[in-house]
Structure 1
Amino acid sequence: MAQRYLSVGEVADRTGLPVSTLHFYERKGLIASMRNSANHRVYRREVLRRVSVIKVAQSVGVPLAEIAEALSGLPAHSVPDTDDWARISEVWHDDLTRRIKLLTALRDKMAMCIGCGCLSVKRCPLVNADDHLASEGPGARLL
């Protein structure tokens, strides 16, 4: 059976993304297309799973550069298998765990902080939790 390719419009319809976003992902190296005999951009069906992973990763705050790096290890012209996805999951596990802890703290302490009114960068448990860099002086230390 011949490989069925999807047009950019079909991929947009299936993923719920605008065509411009798919073109952007392609420019960033997240997905790849090829040209058919009419010189139209077409995608292999596997792109649907890649786009789904990109959307989910972006929704939890994973930067596009990290997504691109993770996807670069996947097979280019076949459906990634369970082991491929497990490798990506392992790479993102610690960062996602850190983000979850930070978001949980923000959720649980936000009302208290807004209500306290101190706006103190020195004392705020959200902005300045466990400030190990304060001893190095004022201002941004990691930028």
Structure 2
Amino acid sequence: MKALDIAEVAAQTGVPASALRFYEEKGLIASIGRRGLKRLFTPDVVQRLSLIALGRLAGFSLDEIAGMFATDGRLRIKREQLAAKADDLDRRIHRMAAMRDGLRHAAKCSAPSHLECPTFRRLVNAAGQLNRKTAGKSKALRKKR
């Protein structure tokens, strides 16, 4: 087993060395020592970084991703957690598709002004409602702290 230094891991994965150090600090990956000033990793860190990338693309936080690894380094993803994230992605996809369709309509709309277009106004109203919901959740989270 040939150890990889941090520069080799960064080159193979496209993950910057600064992110690798941060991931190590968060407990997502672990170095096995040093060669001079450079951290060393086992080759399996490449697959672990791919799993982290998949989790990030799916919208999981780094803390959620960290919880998907057992203390021995094995993967322990709860199927319910994956199903819940898939449901969340479905909701996001639906919202984004509606947004895309509304923007395409507004781009072609013959109304003299975008604000005179009923479709565009619905988009604006929906964005305002979503913003208010998000702000309310943020306030509730701050109060809990």
**TM superposition score normalised by structure 1:** 0.68
Structure 2: 5+ residue runs without aligned partners? 107-118
Residue 75 of structure 1 is matched in structure 2 by 72
Q: Could you list the runs of 4 or more consecutive aligned residues of structure 1 that deviate by over 2 angstroms after TM superposition?
A: 36-40, 111-116, 118-121
Deviations 1:40-94 (A, max 9, x none): 31001111111001111112211111001112x1633xxx5xxx4xx42625322
2:114 corresponds to 1:117: no
TM-score (normalizing by structure 2): 0.67
Distance 1:47 1:13 in 2: 13
Letter in 2 for 1:26: E
SS at match of 1:62: coil
Are residues 1:107 and 2:96 paired? Answer: yes
Residue of structure 2 in register with 1:55 after alignment: 53
How far is the alpha carbon of 1:140 from its aligned partner? 1.8
> Conserved in 1, the CA contact under 8 Å of 2:5 and 2:35?
no
State percent identity of aligned pairs. 28
Structure 1 residue 98 corresponds to structure 2 residue 87: yes
Change (3 A) 1:12 1:33: same
Post-superposition shift, 1:36? Answer: 3.7
Map of 2:22 onto structure 1: 24
Q: Which runs of 5+ in 1 are unaligned?
A: 134-138
* RMSD of equivalent CA atoms: 3.0
Q: How many residues align?
A: 121
Equivalent residues of 2:52, 2:65 under 8 A apart: yes
Larger relative contact order, structure 1 or 2 (CA cutoff 8 Å, min sep 6)? 1
Aligned to 2:136: 140
More helix by share: 2
Q: Deviations over 1:27-50 (max 9, x none)?
A: 111000022464531001111111
Task: Give the whole-Å Cα distance in 2 for the aligned partners of 1:49 and 1:93.
Answer: 19
